[in-house]
A and B are shown apart, each in its own frame.
Chain A
Amino acid sequence: MEGWEKSPIFPIETKILRRLPGFPLLVISVLLLVVNVSNAFAHATPMLYEPAAAMALDKLPPRVRIQFSEHIEPKASSITIYAPDGSRADLKDSRPDANDLRVLTVGVRDAGKGVYTVSWQVVSQDDGHFTKGGFSFGFGSDAASTNSTAEQIQVEHSSTYSQAGAIGIEVLGQSLLVAFLIAMALLWRRLPHRKITVRQSAVFERACQYVVSAGIVFIVLGVIVFLILKTLDLEVSRATSFATTFQTFLQTVDGRFAVYRLILGLAFGIYFFAVRKSIFASRTYSMHEGILAGLVAIILLDRAMVSHAAASHFHPDFSILMNAAHLLAKEFWVGGLMALSLILVPVINRIGRASWMAVTLTTMSKYISAALAVTALTGAYIVWLHLKSPAYILTTPWGRRFLVLSTIATILLLVRMYNQLFAERYAVQACRQHLQGYRREAVRWLHYSIPFEMCVGVALLFVTSYLIITTPPYPSERYALEKHADSQGARIAMTVHPVEQKQFLITVTKGQTGTAEPVTEMVVTLENMEKNIGPIVADTDERFTGGFTFPRNSLSVPGQWKIDITARRNGAYDAAVSFPLNYPAEFEASRIDPDVRVAGLFEGILASAAAAATLFSLALYRFAGKLSRQCDVEASQSWSTPGFRISKSILTGASATAAVCAVIWMGDALFIKSNFQRLCEDHGGSWTQSVPMRRGVTLSSETMAVCSTPSNDFHFAEAREFEYSLQKSPQSEEHHHQ
């Protein structure tokens, strides 16, 4: 231990702030970017159309307004309006609202009575995703025909696996750069320099150069592929040439920031190769490494700024920083493993000192433990910010992909536990004695388990990239109004329809099993005794087995209403209940504002999980620290692992990656597509983001994941309704197959 403390690079941990010349530079860079965060503005989804889709107007509004879920790119976004005669009816002055950059407006001219078709296409400033769509509204006496053209409403999102792959390659490149910095600054210099021969140093330096070169190549490749894919995507959306579209895309935040990352990556490479001799010659942490670390930090922040965190309503600047910190922690973890697998383990194996290997492994484990804590804390925040409710885990793409990510993360954590708590313990024992039996095997298998962990980490980064481009759930306002009662063994419940908030939904279920109860006829009678209105028989519409809707506006005047519901059933007595309802007072009182976040069970679980993970990380950190102190770096016990080949080691890791990818693929097949989506696609429907629609009539202005039938006159947002339509119209099903 004495010799260890005399090592010139030992004080790094205790005096890190003083010894890091690049640290102030890093802080300044981060602060500069934070200041700029507010100027940078994820997946714009229309939240509100003004005028509403399919609305019949007596008077034409001066401007058409569309409110999106995210900030929009003014230069790459536009609204076009077509008059009833097909001519342009917009004033070609599409612009964002001065007070809210989520709102895009365009002036409209009076081009006669009839149906006006609005076509919009926008690029999100927050995540660079493209969306386009359209809707119709009617003006004047011909407005009634609006419903027939409302089927034009369609929303498309351009989130593809290939784009996620491009981002993944870029993130992989960043991790390689981080790997170099870790290998150089945190691991290599901990070893007694005087005992390293020139030849051994040369091997290390060569490995570092390979890793940095690969990192730069991956970043450049990732960004260029990303730019091309996005341009091609936008080209389809805008119907302009590739060159013109490329120029347009470069004017967007997403395009511009991608170019910044490309330049920063190249700058890293140029700077590294210019000063590499100085870096390798330095016995302490040099300023050059600080500058390189700063460049990596800026690249990470640049990536985090073009994310859905920027579109969040909850302190977007802070959310971006948390996103960057999360990505940094993950890249640090994976980069550390790359530093071990690609640089240090092969080099130290060649040197053949058991103590060096043990100290290097345990030191890295200590840092990875710290990264685990940061990953858990920031991860919990990001999940809270984006997922919003556990109900969205299995019902939204973001939730299901998060589930896949969690699976990979669990595998990664298990491998880490093996390496850190089991294998490394014997690696430390190998410092003092010649190991035999399973202990020796455990140490020998480190050559495979570390690359395995690295590869699982890389898989995690790719899934993270996919999650980056996935739009998180944007819940709209909901109404918690619910009334229920039991009658003749059935339960009748009345709620506000989850998708069509202008409708009440009545469901009839079997009292004991809770399964849907077939109803032959539903009779809803409304009576307002105070104002002597009714009884009125409401128009009901059967949506699924045991599910009926009736319009809210059947309750024509405010006041105390009595709602009598009779569900006729085959071979059983009617289920009949009566609900009192003070409308709209009770209805309004049950409104849930999606922007209001309250601390509940979900928040409690996340906070507990983050706290538990932090404590666990702390314990791991102490364990790794204790192990690292048990090994004397000066000990001369040899590290004997006959038959080691780095290629074999990496190949094993790659095989593990293939296994992990198979898990992802299976997870994707099992979880990413909901049963509803699979059913939809199996019956010839297309799964899109759009407004819900029945018989060509839009039901809500809110866009959501829907199953669009081939005829495009039904956009089902509810699985039950789609299943019911299939049961009711087997002919339609055949048509779908065609």
Chain B
Amino acid sequence: MNARVLRFFLAMACTLLWVQALAAHENQVYRIGGKTYQLTVGSLNEPVAIDDKTGLDFKVELQPGGGAKPGPVTGLEQTLKVEVAAGDKKKVFNLQSSFGTPGTYKTSFYPTVQTTFSYRIFGTVEDIPVDLTFTCHSAGHARVPEDTTEVKISDQVTRLSKRGSFGCPVAKSDVGFPEAAPSIFELQSRVNTLNSQLEGAQSQAGTARILGVAGLAAGLLGLAFGMVAWRDGKKAQSFPSRRKS
């Protein structure tokens, strides 16, 4: 196999991997100001498992039209931030530009709970305020039809289309090998449960100890009364004539 053929196959493989990666991402086209942008959002390392390192994988490209030169949009790490939300918890991260791939940004974290994660990207794009939210789908990227309905987000921001989706983190037990192990959060929950049970048991043990001591004291007291009664009884038996009188 010569080097040309090898390079061809390598290029094909890279293309396939890129397509695969894109397929697991959500693709939205926006008109911001007078320009059209394609935003591609997903998670790093999909499919993501709980306790695995992941994060926002965000790419912005300028589309042809409006007199703008198509291509990746750089420098957004200066003007945009991302808020990651899960359940009732939220955390703001700074965006970092990916080295070697202009127009691509990322931020990293470790998902600890199997739930729905939302990426809220906010800030400005060319001085125009944007506030966009992308949410993962628990069924991964399965069967989400393209939505070409225009949705006005704000005066200067309109969503033109939406395509694809990205998956939420899957349970660690689903992909764990060779033994399906629970996540750290699950272990922590179990430990908490055990702790509360232990505290309950300790409290009960304390009560039982007090009752035991009280019982022992009552027993000793009873024994003392018994002894006194027994002694009086003996005395009474030894002086029957006096009792009769």
Contact = CB atoms under 8 A, between A and B. Distances in A.
Interface string B89-117: 00000000000000000000000011110
B38 to A, nearest CB: 25
A631 interface: no
A523 B137 contact: yes
A537 B139 contact: yes
Contact of B87 (A523, A535, A566, A573): A573
Contacts of B140: 535
B171 A576 contact: yes
Interface string A453-483: 0000000000000000000000000000000
Given A525-B139, A537-B142, A566-B138, A574 B114 contact: yes
B142 A568 contact: no
Interface in B169-207: 171, 174
Contacts of A278: none
A515 interface: no
B235 interface: no
Of A488, A525, A572, A573, chain B has the most CB atoms within 10 Å of the CB of: A573
B86 interface: yes
Interface band, chain A: 10 to 19
Given A488-B115, A537-B143, A572 B88 contact: yes
Contacts of A437: none
B138 A574 contact: yes
A571 interface: yes
Nearest to B174: A578
A536 interface: yes
A525 B115 CA distance: 15
A573 B86 contact: yes
| Interface residues of A, dominant DSSP | strand
Determine the main DSSP class of B at the interface with A: loop
A576 B115 contact: yes
A525 B138 contact: yes
Interface centre among B115, B137, B171, B174 (most CB of A within 10 A): B115
A536 to B, nearest CB: 7
A68 B88 CA distance: 54
B137 A573 contact: no
Nearest to B140: A535
Nearest to A535: B142
A399 B86 CA distance: 48
B88 A571 contact: yes
Interface string B33-45: 0000000000000
Nearest to A575: B115
Interface in B129-143: 137-140, 142-143
Nearest to A570: B88
Contacts of A537: 139, 142-143
B116 A568 contact: yes
Contacts of B116: 566, 568, 574
Contacts of A535: 139-140, 142
A537 B171 CA distance: 18
Interface residues of B, number: 16
A566 B115 CA distance: 8
A49 B116 CA distance: 45
Interface in A559-579: 564, 566, 568, 571-574, 576, 578
Contacts of A523: 137-139
A544 B140 CA distance: 26
Nearest to B173: A578
A574 B86 CA distance: 9
Nearest to A524: B139
A121 B139 CA distance: 49
A520 to B, nearest CB: 9
Q: Which of B86, B139, B168 is the most central at the interface, judged by chain A CB atoms within 10 Å of its CB?
A: B139
Contacts of B174: 578
Interface string A506-534: 00000000000000000101000000000
B138 A572 contact: no
B113 A573 contact: yes
Interface string A547-591: 000000000000000001010100111101010000000000000
Among A525, A564, A574, the most chain B Cβ lie within 10 Å of the Cβ of: A574
A576 B87 contact: no
Interface in A9-30: none
A490 to B, nearest CB: 12
Nearest to A534: B142
B64 to A, nearest CB: 34
B144 to A, nearest CB: 9
Contacts of B171: 576, 578
B142 A576 contact: no
Contacts of A566: 116, 138-139, 168
A488 B142 CA distance: 25
Interface in A564-623: 564, 566, 568, 571-574, 576, 578
Contacts of B113: 488, 573
B120 to A, nearest CB: 15
B183 to A, nearest CB: 12
A370 B195 CA distance: 64
A572 B87 CA distance: 4
Contacts of A572: 87-88
Contacts of B114: 573-574, 576
A573 B118 CA distance: 12
A511 to B, nearest CB: 12
A572 B168 CA distance: 15
A93 to B, nearest CB: 50
A576 B171 CA distance: 9
A422 to B, nearest CB: 50
Contacts of A574: 87, 114-116, 138, 168
A134 B118 CA distance: 51
Given A576-B114, A576-B115, A576-B171, A571 B142 contact: no
A576 B138 contact: yes
Nearest to A577: B171
Contacts of B168: 566, 574
A573 B117 CA distance: 9
Contacts of A564: 138
A566 B171 CA distance: 11
Given A576-B115, A576-B171, A571 B139 contact: no
A380 B202 CA distance: 52
A537 B141 CA distance: 10
Contacts of B143: 536-537
Nearest to A567: B138
A323 B114 CA distance: 61
A566 B87 CA distance: 13
B221 to A, nearest CB: 45
A525 B138 CA distance: 9
B142 A525 contact: yes
Contacts of B87: 571-574
Contacts of A568: 116, 138
Interface in B56-91: 86-88
A578 B173 CA distance: 11
Contacts of B139: 523, 525, 535, 537, 566
A102 B77 CA distance: 77
Nearest to A525: B139
Interface string B4-38: 00000000000000000000000000000000000
Nearest to A537: B139
A571 B142 CA distance: 25
Nearest to B189: A488
7 contacts: A488-B115, A537-B139, A566-B138, A571-B88, A573-B114, A574-B138, A574-B168
What are the 4 A-B residue pairs with the smallest beta carbon separation, nearest first? A566-B138, A573-B115, A573-B87, A574-B115
Given A566-B138, A568-B116, A576-B171, 20 more contacts: A523-B137, A523-B138, A523-B139, A525-B138, A535-B139, A535-B140, A537-B139, A537-B142, A537-B143, A564-B138, A566-B116, A566-B168, A571-B87, A572-B87, A572-B88, A573-B114, A574-B116, A574-B138, A574-B168, A576-B115
Interface of A: 488, 523, 525, 535-537, 564, 566, 568, 571-574, 576, 578
